[in-house]
């Protein structure tokens, strides 16, 4: 629960909107799933999965993280574009 509250608070710190609420929940879910899996002894047998399946899962999760961050990256780039050069 602490991870969820912390990530939602961090999302809302970026901006009070439904987007950042979902952003915080998405990250909290990812952190919670990763941590609970680390504490278990490979119940899904991910180590036995073919490497191509593991890579596909990793790339999909990374792609979704990037898509979720697009508005943030766009804001940063548009804000700093004139100040960097």
| Chain segment 6-31, per-residue pLDDT in tens | 988 888 887 787 878 887 888 888 88
Residue 38: other Cβ atoms inside 10 A: 8
Q: Are 12 and 21 in contact (CB under 8 A)?
A: yes
Say if residue 85's pLDDT is above 50. no
pLDDT in tens, 29-76: 888 888 888 888 888 788 888 999 989 988 998 888 777 766 666 665
Output the pTM of the full model.
0.56
Q: What angle do CA 49, 3, 17 make, to 5 degrees?
A: 105
49 three-class SS: coil
């Amino acid at each position: 629960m602490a991870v969820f509250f912390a990530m939602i608070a961090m999302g809302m710190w970026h901006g009070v909107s439904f987007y950042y609420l979902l952003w915080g929940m998405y990250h909290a879910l990812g952190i919670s799933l990763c941590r609970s899996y680390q504490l278990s002894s490979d119940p899904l047998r991910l180590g036995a999965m073919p490497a191509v399946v593991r890579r596909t899962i990793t790339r999909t999760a990374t792609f979704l993280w990037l898509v979720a961050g697009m508005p943030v990256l766009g804001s940063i780039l548009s804000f700093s574009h004139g100040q960097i050069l």
